[in-house]
A and B are shown apart, each in its own frame.
Chain A
Amino acid sequence: MDRLTSNDGPLTEPSLPDPIPTLIERSEPIDIVVGVLTFNDGATAPAAARGLIEGFRQYAPEKRVLVVNCDAGSQDGTPDLIEHAAGHDASFWAVRHAVSGSSLHVLSESGVPGRDAAIRLLAAVAERLTAKVCLIVDGNLKSAHPRWSELLASPILDKGADCVLPHFSRNRYEGTLTNTLLAPLTRALYGKRMTYHQGGAYAFSDRFVRSLLLPQPWDEEIATYGIDGWVTTLAAAELADVYEAMLGPRLRQGKPMGDLSTIIAQSVGCIFHMMERYQSTWEPVTGSKTVPMIGEPAGLGEPVGALHVDRMIHGFQQGLRDLVPIWQIVLAPDTFQQILELGIDDADSFQFPSSLWVQVVYDLALAYHDRLLHREHLLKSLTPLYLGHTASLILATRALPGKRMEEELERVAVEYETMKPYLIQRWRWSDE
């Protein structure tokens, strides 16, 4: 089993805002730190915090729990509402974390500005208190359940896991970017079959916090790429014992933030960025293994709401018309030629083969590595191609049962693994 090695070297200590240092000095020993990330989440965060406290009372009543609300500057009295909801069943600290300029212009999909600073702060608090588990949840979740406490903490407390990532039940076409790019690419690179669901809820062991999370550079790049993708990729790339917790649906207050191209630039950019850092790790990896899961697995639900396939195809068509000079730079000649040949005569019979999609993704990873174009432009130029592949996937599977859709996604994932030598060969060639 993959294990983390202990890192007893000096850590870069983040400066903790007042009154946290004083509270840490006066604090009794704590077993579990529960961090609640909020920004004007007064409608949902108190219930989420209360639910987790209840969950720990049932699952591990002997454990000492501290709830820390990391708030980005709510105007609706969120910290007070959480304190009121927490009552006397758990210790409670409220802290307003720093929101730097760089965090503001890259509001994460969660809608909490300075989310990276908040997670770093919580990790530092957990490390100073020598807590065994650092559990972090989003305050905007309506679906947080008391059972989450056990699902997220028990792999660490009972099975010695390093990191527990969320696995939410989803509808058929929910998370297409994750299902057709982020998860299968991560799986092919690092050999871990993770669903790559970002945000919502995490749990980290004390080892993970000390050896991996806190030693991160915590520079502007983490804020740019988004801490959620960063942490998920870190868990995949490092020798960490990772579990996935089946948490049911992820229902949020309000809609996810950011337009599609920004989401693509952040999430895909994060994986590409980490590919450079972990080149020696992913190059020798072949095949993949499942990650242990806890909770009841759920298949793909039926699609909810209308699917605007025509608009997706239109987005791809426009890319084909206007972005050709850019694609010509970032794609390999063979890939580029195949994209041009796709054309679209009949929208209903449009097909974007998965093998071509994987080739596109690998070409972009190489173009990112070789810096053929400004990196943000390069990543955002993927948007029409992604829309084209998604439209093709929907057209091919919408009449099929959910099980067949899962098989189709598995086929895409296997394609990433099969074509990995293409990536390695060209990557090495480019490094020479």
Chain B
Amino acid sequence: MSDVWGDAIVEAFRDMMMRMAVFLPKLLALMSFIVLGILVAMMTRAVLHHLLRAARVDVLSERWGLQASLAKAGIKQPFSQVVGRLAFWTVFVIFVFMGVDALGLPTTADLMGQLLGYLPSVLAAGLLILVGALLGNFLAEATLIATVNAQIQEARLIAGLVRWGIFLFTAAMVLTQLGIAKEIVVAAFTIVFGGVVLAVAIAVGLGGRNIARDALERRWRKGKEKDERDEIAHL
């Protein structure tokens, strides 16, 4: 009786120790990956930050209005710092995935592979969102100022159309990039875009004949008025 009891305890202890002996190196590997990930991510962030600063990316982003658009979105840091931070988290997450993979858990093995395979698409989609948002705001602002200075009454409407046109186009590209209901997105975009064009064509051709005529008349008159306006030399 006591032998059986003793064997059971020893067996259980041996199993436990063996499992620990197998698992502990994996846990150590995970922790090593996390520490290494932090170090590599910090190095990547620092190198990228310095490279971008050396390439005067911050100055260029301010000149192109990217910085102002980021500020509007609540991001106050310089563009190089934002990119550096993104790079930090990307590298860190990759190392964490590698660490979790090293644990050898059957339930996470496939998930990690899938996530890593999907990562380039997510990064590309994130980049598309950033560029789309910046471009949309920048061009809308430029359009608003230009149309106001040209004294076009529908300035805000035109600027809004530019902004939301670019946002719509970006959204379609992002969803396609992520592979989410590709066919539906393409079809929806085609329908919306085609619908807008058709609506404008019908509005101008049928419903808005008078408006179109007025607009053309105004435009023709503006040509004459421009000559009059130029009578004062401003410089």
Contacts and interface: CB of A to CB of B under 8 A. Distances in A.
A177 B234 contact: yes
B52 to A, nearest CB: 17
Contacts of B234: 175-178, 260, 263-264
B141 A260 contact: no
A306 B235 CA distance: 18
Contact of A311 (B63, B142, B151, B233): B151
Contacts of B146: 261, 380
Given A322-B144, A381-B145, A374 B68 contact: yes
A261 B152 CA distance: 14
Given A175-B234, A255-B230, A322-B156, A374 B149 contact: no
B65 A377 contact: yes
A57 B112 CA distance: 88
Contacts of A426: none
A13 interface: no
Interface stretch (A61-69, A124-132, A288-296, A313-321): A313-321
A342 interface: no
A326 B232 contact: no
B232 A174 contact: yes
Interface residues of A, number: 42
Contacts of B169: none
A329 B155 CA distance: 19
Given A260-B149, A318-B148, A371 B141 contact: no
Interface in A236-280: 255-256, 259-261, 263-264, 267
B189 interface: no
Contact of A377 (B145, B151, B228): B145
Interface string A311-346: 100110011001100100100000000000000000
B3 interface: no
Contacts of B193: none
Nearest to A196: B235
Question: Chain B interface secondary structure, helix, strand, loop or mixed?
Answer: helix
Nearest to B67: A371
Contact of A318 (B63, B151, B228): B151
Contacts of B65: 373-374, 377
Interface string A371-404: 1111111001101100000000000000000000
A256 B68 CA distance: 33
B27 to A, nearest CB: 49
B148 A384 contact: yes
Nearest to A264: B234
B68 A373 contact: yes
Interface residues of B, number: 27
A374 B141 contact: yes
Nearest to B229: A308
Interface in B64-97: 64-65, 67-68
A372 B233 CA distance: 30
B138 interface: yes
Given A306-B228, A311-B229, A383-B149, A374 B64 contact: yes
Interface in B130-148: 138, 141-142, 144-146, 148
B59 to A, nearest CB: 9
B159 to A, nearest CB: 8
Interface string A353-382: 000000000000000000111111100110
Contact of A371 (B62, B142, B233): B62
A319 B62 CA distance: 24
B148 A322 contact: yes
B225 interface: yes
Nearest to A319: B148
Contacts of A205: none
B141 A259 contact: no
A104 interface: no
Given A311-B225, A326-B141, A178 B232 contact: no
Given A259-B149, A305-B231, A322 B141 contact: no
Nearest to A315: B151
Which of B142, B145, B231 has the most CB atoms of chain A within a 10 A radius of its CB? B145
A233 interface: no
A55 B138 CA distance: 53
B142 A174 contact: no
B181 to A, nearest CB: 35
Given A322-B144, A372-B68, A173 B151 contact: no
Contacts of A314: 151
29 contacts: A174-B232, A175-B235, A182-B235, A198-B235, A255-B230, A256-B230, A260-B234, A304-B231, A305-B228, A305-B232, A306-B231, A307-B232, A311-B151, A318-B148, A322-B144, A322-B155, A322-B156, A323-B145, A371-B62, A371-B67, A371-B68, A372-B68, A374-B64, A374-B68, A374-B138, A376-B142, A377-B141, A380-B149, A381-B145
Given A178-B234, A307-B232, A371-B67, 20 more contacts: A109-B235, A174-B232, A175-B234, A175-B235, A178-B235, A256-B230, A261-B149, A267-B235, A305-B228, A306-B228, A315-B151, A318-B153, A322-B148, A373-B68, A374-B64, A375-B63, A376-B142, A377-B145, A380-B149, A384-B149
Interface of B: 62-65, 67-68, 138, 141-142, 144-146, 148-149, 151, 153, 155-156, 225, 228-235
